Amino acid sequence: RKEVEQDPGPFNVPEGATVAFNCTYSNSASQSFFWYRQDCRKEPKLLMSVYSSGNEDGRFTAQLNRASQYISLLIRDSKLSDSATYLCVVNPKGFQKLVFGTGTRLLVSP
Amino acid sequence: DTEVTQTPKHLVMGMTNKKSLKCEQHMGHRAMYWYKQKAKKPPELMFVYSYEKLSINESVPSRFSPECPNSSLLNLHLHALQPEDSALYLCASSPWTSNAGELFFGEGSRLTVL
């Protein structure tokens, strides 16, 4: 089983739609969780950290479910500019080695 | 604009060449990283420096040699590479040295080995 698993997609959605991605992780002792966004041929950029209580940043909401070992990202009112690959990232041991999922590709169309 | 600067943006080299990738950050971060990313794959960790000391080497072949001359600079020296080493090489920095959290990536150096 991979340490971090994501559905690669692509998720094709129209503008204005709500879309959700899940990511599962295998190490129950994992300490911290993140969503990064990567545009085609660009560097990854931190989108948001994921806190135990869940957190929201504008149209984006992240949730953590420790019992089921998954994190989720919800995007409301999708924009064309949201088209990108969303990487789920987990720090399994509280050290410097982050584990990246393979990414979920989102395509938002007019 | 990213606050981590990488040069060169593109590099083409032969298998017998020696070249270096450079990375610079002025955010005062004390952890710096090299990642390798192949097309449609996630970044793979290569090396981590904490306070200018190598703290993680992910069993990277010796044809890749990292160097951290000071807290702002990180180099990756390349020698006798193979075509399969062609990839995007990403430098990152983090304010956290003991518990990796936010990573700030540079735009990467796209390497082609002929």
- Please count the other Cβ atoms lying within 10 Å of the Cβ belonging to residue B16: 8
Contact assignment for A31 to B99 by CB distance below 8 Å: yes
Q: What string of pLDDT tens digits covers the 114 residues of chain B?
A: 569 999 999 999 999 899 999 999 999 999 999 999 999 899 999 999 999 999 999 999 999 999 999 999 999 999 999 999 999 999 999 987 766 678 999 999 999 999
Cβ under 8 Å to A: B residues 38-77? 41-43, 45, 48, 50, 55-56
| Backbone φ, ψ for residue A80 (5° rounding) | -55, -35
Which residues, at least 6 apart from B84, have a Cβ–Cβ distance to it below 8 Å? B113
Contact assignment for A96 to B103 by CB distance below 8 Å: no
Q: Helix and strand tally (H, E) in chain B? A: 0, 11
Q: Which residue of A has its CA nearest to B4?
A: A43
Residue count of chain B: 114
Minimal Cα–Cα distance from A10 to chain B, Å? 12
Strands A11-14 and A104-109: parallel
Burial label for A84, CB within 10 Å (0-12, 13-18, 19+), is buried
Q: Which residues pair with B6 in a beta bridge?
A: B23
Q: Which residue of A has its CA nearest to B95?
A: A96
Alpha-carbon distance A41 to A46, whole Å? Answer: 16
| Chain B residues touching residue A50 (CB < 8 angstroms) | none
Residue of A36, A46, A95 with shortest CB distance to B99: A95
Query: pLDDT per residue over B70-96, tens digit each?
Result: 999 999 999 999 999 999 999 999 987
| Chain A residues touching residue B99 (CB < 8 angstroms) | 31-32, 91, 94-96
SS3 B94: strand
